[in-house]
Structure 1
Amino acid sequence: MTTPTTTSAGPRLDRDSLEDASAFVRAAGLIIDEVTDSRVTGHMDLGPDHLTPWGIVHGGVYSTAVESAASLGASTAVRGRGEVAVGLTNTTHYFRSLAAGRVLVEATALYQGRTQQLWRVDITDETGRLIAHGEVRLQNVAGVSRT
């Protein structure tokens, strides 16, 4: 695992920094496809490592995707101010169970204020059916460098 670098504008945030920053997120299998200040897209290929003993994807996998996508987008939005965004609340709702397959993750900013942000994250299957939905409220804080 590499350590993210820090610039004068705060921690380096790019497409790969989420996977670099967290072995947990990497192990969960979230792949980031696009990041902007107000939108993040990605995907996960779900399989046996993501399942409960009952053979369906564990809800924590979806909660991880929700929090991670929202945090990356929110942090990207405030990096120019030398800040990062950290989660305050994560509410994830589960609608359909899956045993395997690709899911698409799309996070969009609902509110971006000076001190807090609210992001919505939808997780769908490849046909567009909603699998899970979450909202994450985040606090903008001074950037923290990892050593």
Structure 2
Amino acid sequence: MNDHKEKILKICNETSKNTLMETLDIEYIDVGEDFLLAKMPVTSKVHQPDGVLHGGATVALAESVGSAASYIFLDGNKYFVRGIEISANHVKSIKEGFVYARAIILHKGRTTQLWEIKITNEADQLISLCKLTTIALPRS
């Protein structure tokens, strides 16, 4: 499993090059049977004007991790995955350090998937709770 895990993480990180994920410094760091985990540094690059993590950056992190997880768990060679709905509840602010996004599948349908993405700080305190619905579209 370890070699397979490392291969998945390498692919996730390599496909992030020259994308929003690279701009936000998102790094995929762990994958398991039912989850994908990534981290993002909280710096002035992702702050809102008053110096805390911007909710939009948090949502971009959540959608990135949920969508990448869909590709992993659904066979990205057969399907395109697109986010079709996302919601976020921001419950705590953060000024610096790292945030971690753990995507866990709640529903794995043939066409749509429902993901819960918990965004936490380094002390494992909840920063935001996001819900993402993805759709799997067959590649032609």
Q: Same fold (TM over 0.5)?
A: yes
User: What TM-score bracket applies, with the shorter chain setting the length?
Assistant: 0.7 to 0.9
One-letter amino acid of the structure 1 residue matched with residue 13 of structure 2: D
Runs (5+) with no aligned partner, structure 2:
1-9
Superimposed CA distance per residue, residues 72-91 of structure 1 (whole angstroms, 9 cap, x where no aligned partner): 00111221661132101010
CA contact 2:119–2:126 (8 Å) conserved in 1: yes
The partner residue of 1:16 within 2, 13, 17 is 13
Superimposed CA distance per residue, residues 97-116 of structure 1 (whole angstroms, 9 cap, x where no aligned partner): 11111111111000101111
Moved more, 33-42 or 129-138: 33-42
Deviation at 1:38, TM superposition (A): 3.0
Relative contact order higher in (CA < 8 Å, ≥ 6 apart): 1
Deviation at 1:143, TM superposition (A): 3.4
Aligned to 2:85: 89
| Distance in structure 2 (CA, Å) of the matches to 1:58 and 1:15 | 24
Aligned to 1:132: 128
- Provide the aligned C-alpha RMSD in A: 1.9
Deviation at 1:133, TM superposition (A): 0.8
1:14-93 to 2 correspondences below 5 Å: 14-20=11-17, 23-36=19-32, 38-79=34-75, 82-93=78-89
Indicate the percent of aligned positions where both proteins have the same amino acid: 21
One-letter amino acid of the structure 2 residue matched with residue 83 of structure 1: Y
CA contact 2:107–2:113 (8 Å) conserved in 1: yes
Change (3 A) 1:32 1:143: farther
Aligned to 1:3: none
| Distance in structure 1 (CA, Å) of the matches to 2:34 and 2:11 | 14
Superimposed CA distance per residue, residues 16-54 of structure 1 (whole angstroms, 9 cap, x where no aligned partner): 24413x521211121111235631101111111111111
SS in 2 for 1:127: coil
Aligned to 2:5: none
* Alignment: residue pair count: 131
TM-score (norm: length of structure 1): 0.81
Runs (5+) with no aligned partner, structure 1:
1-12
CA contact 2:114–2:132 (8 Å) conserved in 1: yes
SS in 2 for 1:86: strand
Aligned to 1:100: 96
Deviation at 1:66, TM superposition (A): 0.7
